[in-house]
Structure 1
Amino acid sequence: MSDGTLRRELGVLRAALNYEHKHGRLLRVPHVWLPSKPAGKDRWLERDEAARLLWASRHDSKARQYLPLFILIGLYTGARKGAILDMRWPQVDFARGVIDFNPPGRKRTDKGRSIIPIPRGLKWFLVKARERGSDLGYVISRNGKPLGDIKKGFAAAAIRAGLDEVTPHTLRHTAGTWLAQKGVDLFQIAGWLGHSHDRTSELYAHHHPDHFKAAREAMD
């Protein structure tokens, strides 16, 4: 059992004990130790884990209509969950080969949304999905209707795949990590993800093969 799962289970127990004590059914509350809270946003997927998550999403009778494509877009683009769920087909320009994660009329916020080239590995899946959709419809949809959220379907796929502490945001962190591990310049990663350069350095610099290279060479 992972620390995250153990923490949740013990947290439920502690809450139940406190409730009983509050209502006079327990004289004193025994101490319940909780493992430290895991750094969820540091979680990223190895490639075999990503494959397991995709496999699990395709074997869910309720979610397989939309979840595999959501996962692929998340892994290839690193876009935020909301940006993916908001995306309509006119934002995917196959002629120019770009995806614009800013829907028409969207107000600018601190959470930037990028305009990026369509990754080659993703394009085939988008083309196939487009053939099944309408000209103006949502890219991620169920029976042609937009999805308010995908938490339940995603969580079920993660459990089926045997993955702990994995959320839709994990896909974004995975994309940034994989780019850094391949030696992509941190400024480019920032632009791809819609991050500030400082935030990108904080999250992904330690994954870059050149991280501390000059310092390491100076000490050799």
Structure 2
Amino acid sequence: MPRTSKGARLVWRAESRRADGSLRNGAGWFIRDGATFISACGSTGDRGRAEKRLAQHIVEKYRPARECGRDPAAVPVADAVSVYLTDVAPSHAKPKETAERLIVVLRWFGDTKIGDINGKVCRDYAKVHGNGAAARRQLEDLRAALNNYHREGYITSAPAIVLPAKPVPRCRSLTRDEAAALLRAAWRMRQSWKGKPSDRCTARHVARFMLVALYTGTRSAAICGAAIRPTEGAGYVDLEYGIFYRCAARRRETKKRQPPVRLPERLLAHVRRWAATPLEIKTKGRGKSASIGRMIAHDHVVEWNGKPVKSIKKAFRSVVEAAGLGWYDYVAAPDGSMRRVFRTDITPHVFRHTAATWLMQQGTDRWAAAGFLGMTVEMLIETYGHHHPDFQAEATRAIVSKSRPRNVPKKTV
């Protein structure tokens, strides 16, 4: 009796050479599907990349059934997810992110039947994945995929997806001293060479990011993607009129509103200078750099080595650590030793909270502040209203004032 197939899976293969000594394949993770081996990490040894490639291989290989009126107990979750990725996800504002989240879902639920999903299964998934915002968002995507599959008539019913509780919103904001410390650390950070700092600056692009984030309250993705002139598929800064168009033209509007914002004069002067100042290149005399002739902000507001910055998280965390705005924990390593890990509650999104907090502390009109930040007046008042000088001012005056004598009419006979 033949052995049951294990299905597509990841296996590690050592380096292999042909009889003549030439390289057949480098060491790394491969997808084994029957007798076929497919490179999953490009010989980098990156397990995360290999897992994503495996999930992509499964989705591409699997062709979901679209018969109507099927019993959920006989339909795998992969069917619903595949249909959702094919029919619905491409119309999302960020289809790639939707696909990445559902790939994570497929690793757990791929072979599970839709009818087997219940509250315990959802709670187990959330627990393994940290019970945080990421797990909740992934389960929301699963719910959308199953409801879509049911709405299309492919199954007779869809199970209820139990979500973990919403995390408490973080409203951490920076003091002016903390903001100054971050800017100073980013501007002074240098590359180390053989244990000694060199004269190569490595975080000045982070300082530029922080200035834009602090004085506009814009989300990090919009800043990193902002061009210095009108560009197809990107937001941009109008240097003549000082307007930051945060959302790309013809991009579908989402609940994360991105209206245009007027740049403060001080920030506009910085951006104009970045667009007109050549990059400082140490090897310019040898003609080795591809960035020779480029400005600090040649094509985009925030650039590193002449290219736009896709994500600021890693460099930003290094700046926060250099500024000393965090703490260290000791965690157990796989070999049993203890290693020191830096922790902090300051993320790039903190600058948005900071901008909103500072606007309220300055007594800015609520309608004007909400339009500047790109949020509703209700959200601004609910989250940041207590920072406004007028917050409960009348009530605090009334509670300590002397009671007014009442005009009681005299008794008359």
TMscore range, shorter length: 0.7 to 0.9
Cα deviation, residue 189, structure 1: 1.4
Partner of 2:259: 114
Judged with a 3 Å threshold, the aligned counterparts in structure 2 of structure 1 residues 211 and 174 are, in CA distance, closer, same or farther, namely same
AA partner of residue 264 (structure 2) = P
Distance 1:135 1:75 in 2: 18
Give structure 1 regions of 4+ aligned residues with deviation exceeding 3 angstroms: 132-136
Partner of 1:142: 304
| Aligned partners of 2:206 and 2:315 also within 8 Å | yes
Cα deviation, residue 103, structure 1: 1.9
Cα deviation, residue 143, structure 1: 1.8
| Aligned partners of 2:363 and 2:388 also within 8 Å | yes
Partner of 1:213: 393
**CA RMSD, 1 decimal:** 2.1
| Aligned partners of 1:74 and 1:80 also within 8 Å | yes
Partner of 1:155: 317
Alignment gaps of 5+ in structure 1 = 1-14, 16-37
Distance 1:121 1:51 in 2: 16
TM-score (ref. length: structure 2) = 0.42
- For residue 89 of structure 1, give the secondary structure of its aligned residue in structure 2: coil
Q: Does 1:54 align with 2:234?
A: no
Say which of 226, 233, 249 aligns to 1:87: 226
Percent identity over the alignment?
36
Instruction: Give the 5 Å matches for 1:12-91.
Output: 41-61=170-190, 63-90=202-229, 91=236
Alignment coverage as a number of residue pairs: 184
Cα deviation, residue 105, structure 1: 3.0
Cα deviation, residue 135, structure 1: 8.7
| Aligned partners of 1:66 and 1:140 also within 8 Å | yes
Judged with a 3 Å threshold, the aligned counterparts in structure 2 of structure 1 residues 49 and 179 are, in CA distance, closer, same or farther, namely same
Q: Does 1:96 align with 2:276?
A: no
Q: Identify the structure with bigger relative contact order (alpha carbons < 8 Å, sequence gap 6+).
A: 1
- For residue 170 of structure 2, give the secondary structure of its aligned residue in structure 1: helix
Partner of 2:382: 202
| Aligned partners of 1:74 and 1:171 also within 8 Å | yes
Partner of 1:23: none
Which is worse superposed, 54-63 or 72-81? 54-63
| Aligned partners of 1:138 and 1:144 also within 8 Å | no
Structure with the larger helix share? 1
TM-superposition CA deviations, 1:18-53 (whole Å, max 9, x none)? xxxxxxxxxxxxxxxxxxxx9672211110110000
| Aligned partners of 1:87 and 1:139 also within 8 Å | yes
Judged with a 3 Å threshold, the aligned counterparts in structure 2 of structure 1 residues 154 and 136 are, in CA distance, closer, same or farther, namely closer
| Aligned partners of 1:53 and 1:157 also within 8 Å | yes
TM-score (ref. length: structure 1) = 0.77
AA partner of residue 347 (structure 2) = T
Q: Which of 1 and 2 has greater Rg? A: 2
TM-superposition CA deviations, 1:54-73 (whole Å, max 9, x none)? 01111223642411100000
Structure with the larger strand share? 2
AA partner of residue 300 (structure 2) = Y
| Aligned partners of 2:187 and 2:203 also within 8 Å | yes
| Aligned partners of 1:73 and 1:122 also within 8 Å | yes
Which is worse superposed, 53-62 or 199-208? 53-62
Cα deviation, residue 114, structure 1: 2.3
Alignment gaps of 5+ in structure 2 = 1-127, 129-166, 191-200, 230-235, 279-294, 327-344, 402-413
AA partner of residue 75 (structure 1) = L
Instruction: Give the 5 Å matches for 1:160-199.
Output: 160-164=322-326, 165-199=345-379
